[in-house]
Amino acid sequence: MATQQDLQELLRLMTVAKVPIKDAMMRVKTLQDHNLRSIKDIAEATLPIVESAIPDPKAARQLHNACKARLKNPTLSAGSKRAGAELLAQTAGATNKRTKPDPNAAYRDGPEPISPADLEASLALPVETNEEIISTTVLLTNRAPLVLAFAAELLRYTMPEQPPSSRLSLAQAVVSTNSRGKAVSIGIEKGPSADEEGWGHGQPRVRIMGREVIVLKRGGYEWKGGEETAQEIKTESIPDTLSTATAVAGESQSSEGGAIVDQISQTWSASSPITSKDSTFIVRATKLPKLSQRQATLQSLFTAVPNLRSADHNAWAYRVKKPDMFGSHVIREDSEDDGEGGSGDFMLKIMRETNAVDTLVVMTRWYGGTMLGPDRWRIIRTCLKEALAERLRATGEQASIGGEAVWGLDLEAMRSKSNPATSSARSYAAGVVGMPVHRPESARAYLLKSFAHRVEGDQGRSTPKKKTAKALEEEKEENISRLLGAIRILYDSWAGHVSTAELDRRAWGWYMGVRPEVENGPAGWGAKGNLKLADILALRRNES
């Protein structure tokens, strides 16, 4: 039986060989009908068998030879144009011509793929958190990129397990869905969407800002979080702590270097440590199937990581699902502040929001001597959600998308490239992996481009355009950093007080409340207006 990876590689091998995607999909289906379900199957079959599935002798021979070449040289990935060109050169005797670089090489299994760390670093955007600077800023922009900014920042709170590249891709998918809906409502576009025609059939879906987004799993993409939550907060390593997933508790030795003193083995997922004003926080999470194991599990952690005993606070909280006498389940929960007032209840609240059960969390703080005010809740929440997300990634327990990184699928691009004639072909095509996605670097460039101009003075004039290229680039970064900072401050003020679902629901209303005013109907399509960042700050939760 063909795996998803087999289908993906076979489809990519055909499309990089310049077979139209429509024809490639139909050929894959025909090959499957003849039990040729993977590159390996085709390579090991005889040519007559392949020709029985593909009537065109030339196409059958070319595919057969390409699959054999691919099997002999696994370093040539079926997922890049460079690999496809080399395979074609081997099988068809083509001359050695220089091939164009593949713009998707960063996301595929090419010979020299960019590392996840390098990819995520290349997509970083600046964030300004100085409210005095933000509150005096007015930007000239249109509405679509503002949706992108609100969605990308929102995903830091609602889907923290997703890497920045995925968040940008998903946010761009929100923009695409919303823009098409708007275009239909004002008569610019007509007819059903690609999703309504069945192009999203069989793919996972998530809801973002009330919009349903079809996603594509990224198949083993590994990313470790730990982004800074604000400009003044820095992440530092702590000696002897576990910055990523695993601690085998209870394996400390005696002073003579002798036997293990505790045989309880426990796997802990940990957040990145966050330091602010000399106070350092870190949160760990682990499975707790039985209430009776709480004390032993805590003890095993302190044995495995002795320097936790030097911390000022080790607050904990747990939620455990326990069967009752009626055959259903009840949730048992408890917490302990350990001197960090209110932290236990706060962690329980977040665990309820994320539906974390059979889970024990420990929040460790080394106090730096300075009160943090509301910032401590933001930091605890950030660390706790990262620890929980890390545990879900490690165990694969996340229900909606399996804890995997995803792309936002570009269904409209998929339809425009293929446009099969029958609905059955559409349904089949939509279920095959390897389709167009919303590119994160394009989303990032769109943000920088769309907020390039500030409005100066009372006359509402945009910034003069006669500036050096370097000055213009610096202004773009300043503008986007102020916008993202304003949105982040807004979300931060609410995130600890409402559920992630409620935060997602409110985000659209907040965008509607501050978006630039433009003319109604087609005349306002793409039109620009003034965006006052002070209006975004005014939506913050009143702490009093």
Q: Are 273 and 282 in contact (CB under 8 A)?
A: yes
Distance CA 76, CA 71 (A): 9
On the question of pLDDT at 111 being above 70, the answer is no
Helices (H), 396-519: 411-418, 423-430, 440-450, 469-495, 500-514
On the question of pLDDT at 232 being above 50, the answer is no
What HEC string does 278-324 produce?
CEEEEEEEEECCCHHHHHHHHHHHHHHCHHHHHCCEEEEEEEEEEEC
Q: Are 539 and 512 in contact (CB under 8 A)?
A: no
Query: Helix (H, G, I), strand (E, B), or coil: what is residue 405?
Result: coil
Residue 87: the pLDDT is 46
CB atoms within 10 A of CB 49: 16
Structure tokens at 270: 């940990």
Query: Alpha carbon of 67 to those of 5, 72, 516: distances in Å?
Result: 15, 9, 54
Query: Alpha carbon of 443 to those of 319, 404, 488: distances in Å?
Result: 39, 21, 18
On the question of pLDDT at 354 being above 70, the answer is yes
Distance CA 386, CA 390 (A): 6
CA R_g for the chain: 27
DSSP state string for 493-519: HHHTTS-HHHHHHHHHHHHHHHSPP--
Check residue 91 and give left, alpha or beta (phi > 0: left; psi -120 to 50: alpha). Answer: alpha
Indicate the pLDDT class of residue 100, thresholds 50, 70 and 90: very low
pLDDT tens-digit series, residues 29-53: 888 888 888 888 888 888 888 888 8
Helices (H), 332-468: 343-353, 375-395, 411-418, 423-430, 440-450
Amino acid in position 265: S
What does the pLDDT average to over 212-226?
77
pLDDT tens-digit series, residues 357-379: 889 999 999 999 888 888 888 88
Residues in the chain: 544
Distance CA 154, CA 498 (A): 13
pLDDT tens-digit series, residues 150-167: 999 999 988 888 899 999
Q: Are 28 and 41 in contact (CB under 8 A)?
A: no
Q: Roughly how many angstroms between the first and final C-alpha of the chain, as a whole number?
A: 61
Pairwise pLDDT comparison (161 vs 284), residue with the higher score: 284
Query: Alpha carbon of 347 to those of 129, 161, 405, 431: distances in Å?
Result: 25, 18, 25, 39
Query: Alpha carbon of 79 to those of 14, 169, 237: distances in Å?
Result: 10, 19, 37
Distance CA 107, CA 77 (A): 12
Q: Which of 112-126, 158-172, 252-266, 489-503 shows the lowest per-residue confidence on average (mean pLDDT)?
A: 252-266
pLDDT tens-digit series, residues 305-332: 888 888 999 999 999 988 766 666 788 8
Indicate the pLDDT class of residue 267, thresholds 50, 70 and 90: confident
Among 336, 224, 343, which Cα is nearest to 279's? 343
- 348 Cβ contact partners less than 8 Å away, ≥ 6 residues apart: 317, 319, 333, 335
Segment holding 214, helix H or strand E: strand 211-217
Distance CA 485, CA 537 (A): 10
Pairwise pLDDT comparison (299 vs 431), residue with the higher score: 299
Q: Are 236 and 280 in contact (CB under 8 A)?
A: yes
Output the average pLDDT for the chain: 76
| Beta strand pairing call for 205-208 and 138-141 | unpaired
Structure tokens at 379: 């930091």
Q: What percent of the chain has pLDDT over 70?
A: 73
Distance CA 517, CA 508 (A): 16
Structure tokens at 515: 């978006």
Amino acid in position 90: Q
Distance of CA 201 to the CA centre of its chain: 21
Residue 335: the pLDDT is 93
Distance CA 330, CA 315 (A): 24
CB atoms within 10 A of CB 41: 19
pLDDT tens-digit series, residues 448-470: 999 988 987 544 445 455 678 88
Residue 387: the pLDDT is 84
- Asked whether the whole model's pTM tops 0.75, one would answer no
Distance CA 463, CA 528 (A): 14
Residue 515: the pLDDT is 93
| Residue showing tokens 């320097």 | 307
CB-side neighbour CA atoms (13 Å) of 71: 16
Beta bridge partners of 233: none
Beta bridge partners of 4: none
Residue 251: the pLDDT is 33
Residue 36: the pLDDT is 87
Q: Are 362 and 299 in contact (CB under 8 A)?
A: no
Among 444, 291, 272, 287, which Cα is nearest to 364's? 272
